[in-house]
Amino acid sequence: MEAIKEHLKSTFSSYELGLLRYSYLCVIYDVSKFIVLFMFFYFLHLGKEFCIEILFLTSLRNFLGGFHCNHYATCLAFSFVFSSIGIMLSHLVLLNNKFQIGLLAVIILVSAIMKPITSVNRPPLSAKLEKIYHCCGMTVLFVYFGLFLTTNTFPYRNLCFWVIVLQTMQLAVANLNKEGEKAL
């Protein structure tokens, strides 16, 4: 084990080791949260909707960021509430297509001025990477916007809409209160 540690220290910079450690922990935590939450939603016959919601959310959150919790239990609880609200809203609140498109246009404008929010536990992004992530996040939003403009019968349209709305609200709050993530 010591030989592996020494090899890693001699091969990677401290920044790269920090990224590796952060990535490793993220994968373990996210996979375990997914399994726990999937089991919950599966028993409610909402496993499919949960998986679709996670796909939409991950495509945005990977680039734009959001709230980050310091403890696994807090993160699991926040993820549970976020996922539950998204699925619940998609089943209970159906807005007409024109209103959804209008609100998505506003979300794109708001998202254009917000910076990606990364975890305080993650090594900070360089200015160049921050711009790249922001550009990728905006591209994903434009792809969804195009999907909303061109298709009225997309089966998960309402779920996608509410995930985008909730993710943008989360990102706006995190941008307004960057220190707030330390309290979660």
Of 169, 181, 159, 180, the closest CA to residue 56 belongs to: 159
Low-confidence ranges of the chain (pLDDT < 50): 179-184
CB-based contacts of 117: which residues, under 8 Å, 6+ apart?
Answer: 64, 65, 66, 67, 68, 171, 174, 175, 178, 181
The whole-number pLDDT of residue 32 equals 92
Residue 41 has what pLDDT? Answer: 95
pLDDT for 161 equals 92
SS3 (DSSP) at 65: strand
pLDDT for 52: 93
Provide the angle, in degrees to the nearest 10, between the axes of the packed helices 157-176 and 97-113: 30
pLDDT of residue 69: 76
**Chain centroid, CA 148 distance in Å:** 20
Q: Can you give the pLDDT at residue 122?
A: 65
Contacts 24+ apart (CB under 8 A), 82-86: 82/57, 82/166, 82/170, 83/37, 83/41, 83/50, 83/53, 83/54, 85/162, 85/166, 86/53, 86/57, 86/159, 86/162, 86/163, 86/166
pTM: 0.80
CB within 8 Å of 137: residues ≥ 6 apart: 60, 63, 64, 111, 116
Q: What is the pLDDT of residue 80?
A: 93
**Tens-place pLDDT, residues 167-181:** 988 888 877 766 444
